[in-house]
Structure 1
Amino acid sequence: MNSHDLQTIESLESSVRSYVRSFPTVFTKARGYRMWDENGKEYIDFFSGAGALNYGHNEPNMKKKLVEYILDDGITHSLDMASNAKAEFLRTFKEVILEPRDLDYKIMFPGPTGTNTVESALKIARKVTGRTDVISFTNGFHGMTIGSLSVTGNSMKRIGAGVPLQYSPTMPYDDFVGSEDDTLDYLRRFLEDNGSGVAIPAAMIIETVQGEGGLNAARFEWIKKLSDICKEWGIFLIVDDVQAGVGRAGTFFSFEKAGIEPDVVCLSKSIGGYGLPLALTLIKPEHDQFKPGEHNGTFRGNNHAFVTATEALSYWKDPKFEQSIQKKSDRITEFLDEMIEKYPQIQGHRKGRAFMQGISSEVEGFSEKVASEGFHHGLIMETAGGHDQVFKLFPPINIDEDGLEQGLELIEKSIQSAIKAMNLESDPVKQ
């Protein structure tokens, strides 16, 4: 239905608008894993704000804390001046997240978005090492400003820069070449051979699970080997956990099971807990060499986000929460494997890890059709990959089992509808 509000958006908002084209309705209310539009239609949200709403919409405890803070005239905007909300967040993050994992980082507030934290990470690596190049990996996505875009693989997004993107050689991600060859042997050879044309870089930046790039999940042993190479050559290892962090990949930090300690970690999206803009750059203390104000931003002190972020960390005080993530992750994996076996005509294979999984289809346009059919069935879901070949599941990590099963049921209905719409029914379906 083309409502008055949609007409306003279509006539006044720039053509760059994107998600409103995929989900052409006006949303008016949201709670937990559910959303409602102006016509009263209910949707199950398996999109979660592209990973910014890991705890769902309007989480009640965070909402209560935020409303109390606002009604008490708490500080809203303070740049990086001291506030009690910031101090409380810092103490809680150290006690709940860093200390139990035996991690020691200085916490920088670079600005409110994912690309802000990546930009600051690139700058500190170059400042400390005195080198210029940053090695990135195929299909990586790190942001839309010039620095972070230079280490992003998507060619369409790179073209949008309008200028050459330099100082960012690209190396193959784990399993990029689709063979038994270890892509890090290839990378190491480039570092060792002074005829390779690749200088020793300031840093390497990696997503342990590539969200926008197609849910490519690097093996933990590959990540550990990459870390060892960086240590051997005095190269900063930057882990971009903007999307895969805060439980999305199964543990608070996506790299925990690899047993590594990155030099820099980038967090944003769900670190604010409530969907409020917030970003952190975690820097090993010996590398914390920015001069005061050398990297700044007007909105780097979002006190409302500090309030909700602190409350969100309450989830992580109880080990049972992380155990519940793993249990539901196993259910997602089981379901996706079942769909691949049950509907062989979709030519699918499972991608990703934990609460960022999906199916990559070799049938051109099929994953996009599944997402489109999902919307009609009342499911919000998007695609990933250079050709939108993956339909991905991003439910809130605190979704209850009933909600998860309802969403999975809608996905199967969407798969069935897409098969019918694309005339793939002639292939036998396993029962």
Structure 2
Amino acid sequence: MNNSLKVFEELESNVRSYCRSFPTKFTKAKGHKLWDVNQKEYLDFFSGAGALNYGHNDPNMKEKLIEYITDDGITHSLDMASTTKEKFLTTFNETILKPRNLDYKVMFPGPTGTNTVESALKLARKVTGRTEVVSFTNGFHGMTIGSLSVTGNAMKRKGAGIPLQNAVTMPFDNYMDHEFDTIDYLEHYLNDSGSGVEIPAAVILETVQGEGGLNTARFEWLKKLENLCERWGIFLIIDDVQAGVGRTGTFFSFEPAQIKPDIVCMSKSLSGYGLPFAITLIKPEHDKWLPGEHNGTFRGNNMAFVTATEALNYWKDPSFEKNVQENAKKITHFLNGMISKYPDMKGLRKGRGIMQGISVSKEGFSEKVAALAFEKGLIMETAGANDEVFKLFPPINIDEKALEEGFEIIEAAVQEVVEEKELVTS
């Protein structure tokens, strides 16, 4: 079958990105696999950039969704009450929040990650009466103006076309080195009336920076940041859009740090099925919105309520989370083994859970690994300011056989690039 991309080149904007990295026309997907129009099979170690943590077309979610559509269930309802919304709210509270001793109001800000971040920034400023927000180096929080203002990537920021204001960037954990305490650094700015840094409304961060290079905050660093925020009356916003929903081994990425953020931003895999869906979790004492003060036409995606509720059933079984953590250990073991086996790569393992990868400082190395992996039938992407990290994002519930198959393809790609580099330098 014709696999030409001519239509996309002629009719779609230059802004398209992933179709350049994965130059084929996909037609079918199931679990951890995709197929293109010529029936070539690919292992998916990309998972929709973290939007498909449970894989493609989960049979339980699909069955519930088909049943809902067939029964003429409500598709669009803004923020009106619906039975599907009621069921999601109840299930989320009983299955996720209560067992973790978390008390949050749930806001539906709009269907995307940047929608939830915008609502979080807006609410923090409204409640505190302050304007500034502290973000961190290499953080990524979305592509709308507010979210871009707290994003570190220079290329993405430039796309705004206007100055990005009311945000201050501070060094993330280990941005300098292991000895430099970046929380003390931040507090020094807050204490110094001559620093030029005002007391912010909020700090916003990812515990593992997905797009920024899989930089990982230590749990003690997160705990110290929470303490700083409590003492200064600053909102702590955790952006769990990509790192949440089991991607790091627990439902929320911040659970092992034993912190309780003021606001949590979630999207991507929350619907479980790849349907657009986002929520903003707000501590009840901060829920100072006036009715309709923040809204959006598609903040009530009832089909996403259906699949999201079904997805939460996985978390009722403790063995599900345990299996995710076992998969994470296998990925860690594989990556550490790769670094030892190919010392010329000079790789550094980054990330945690099932969002890990290897950072290689040699220019173009990781991009070449990802490109070769695609040729060999595996889809994965790169991350970091210079695309220096090739990252593994398979479904969190992938089976051991598929995981091992992916490892073999990645190693073959790495070996080929290492040998190419040796030839170039010899």
Q: TM-score, normalised by structure 1?
A: 0.97
Aligned residue for 2:337, secondary structure, equals helix
For residues 355-413 of structure 1, the C-alpha deviation after alignment (integer angstroms, 9 at most, x for no partner) is 00000001111000000000000000000000000000000001011111111111101
Compared CA separation, residues 139 and 424, structure 1 to 2 (3 A): farther
Query: How many Å apart are 1:179 and its aligned residue?
Result: 4.0
Alignment of 1:392-403 (within 5 A): 392-403=391-402
User: What residue is the counterpart of 2:148 in the other structure?
Assistant: 149
Name the TM-score, length of structure 2 as normaliser. Answer: 0.99
Task: Provide the residue aligned with 1:100 in structure 2.
Answer: 99
Aligned to 1:313: 312
In structure 2, what is the Cα distance between the partners aligned to 1:319 and 1:156? 42
* More moved, 86-95 vs 411-420: 411-420
**Superposed counterparts of 1:175-214, under 5 Å:** 175-214=174-213
Matching residue of 1:255 = 254
What amino acid is the match of 2:254? F
Instruction: Give deviations 1:70-94, integer Å, cap 9, x for gaps.
Output: 0000000000011111100000000
Q: Which residue of 1 aligns with 2:273?
A: 274
Encode CA deviations 1:16-60: one digit per residue, 9 max, x unaligned.
000000000000000000000001100000000000000000000
Answer whether contact 1:419 1:425 (CA < 8 A) is retained.
no
Alignment-mate amino acid for residue 61 of structure 1: N
Residue 226 of structure 2 is matched in structure 1 by 227
User: How far apart, in 1, do the equivalents of 2:154 and 2:32 lie?
Assistant: 33
Measured in 2, the distance between the counterparts of 1:426 and 1:316 equals 50
Amino acid at match of 2:105: K
Match of 2:3 in 1: 3
SS of match in other structure, 2:351: strand
SS of the residue aligned with 1:422?
helix
Structure 2 distance, partners of 1:62, 1:230, is 39
Give secondary structure in 1 for the equivalent of 2:167: coil
SS at match of 2:359: strand
Which residue in 1 is equivalent to 2:240? 241
Contact 2:3 2:38 in 1 (8 A): no
Distance 1:37 1:363 in 2: 32
SS of the equivalent of 1:169 reads strand
Helix, strand or coil at the partner of 1:162: coil
How far the C-alpha of 1:422 sits from its partner, in A, is 3.2
Question: What's the CA shift for 1:426?
Answer: 7.5
Are 2:164 and 1:168 aligned? no
Q: Please state whether the residue corresponding to 2:238 is helix, strand or coil.
A: strand
Provide structure 1 residue ranges, at least 5 long, that are not aligned to the other structure.
none
Q: Is the CA contact 1:345–1:424 (under 8 Å) kept in the aligned structure 2?
A: no
Aligned to 1:266, what secondary structure does the other structure show? strand
Shift of 1:178: 2.0
3-state SS of paired residue (2:422): coil
1:425 and 1:315 mapped to 2: Cα distance?
Answer: 49
Letter in 1 for 2:363: E
Q: Which runs of 5+ in 2 are unaligned?
A: none
Return 410-419 or 309-318, whichever deviates more. 410-419
Could you tell me whether the CA contact under 8 Å between 1:355 and 1:395 is conserved in 2?
A: yes
Q: How does 1:39-188 map to 2 (within 5 A)?
A: 39-188=38-187
Pair 1:259–1:424, CA change in 2 (3 A): farther
1:170-225 CA-partner distances (Å, limit 9, x unpaired):
10000001241111110010011111100000000010000000000000000000
Contact 2:262 2:283 in 1 (8 A): yes
Query: For 2:387 and 2:87, how far apart are their aligned partners in 1?
Result: 41
Letter in 2 for 1:183: T
Residue 345 in structure 1 maps to residue 344 in structure 2: yes
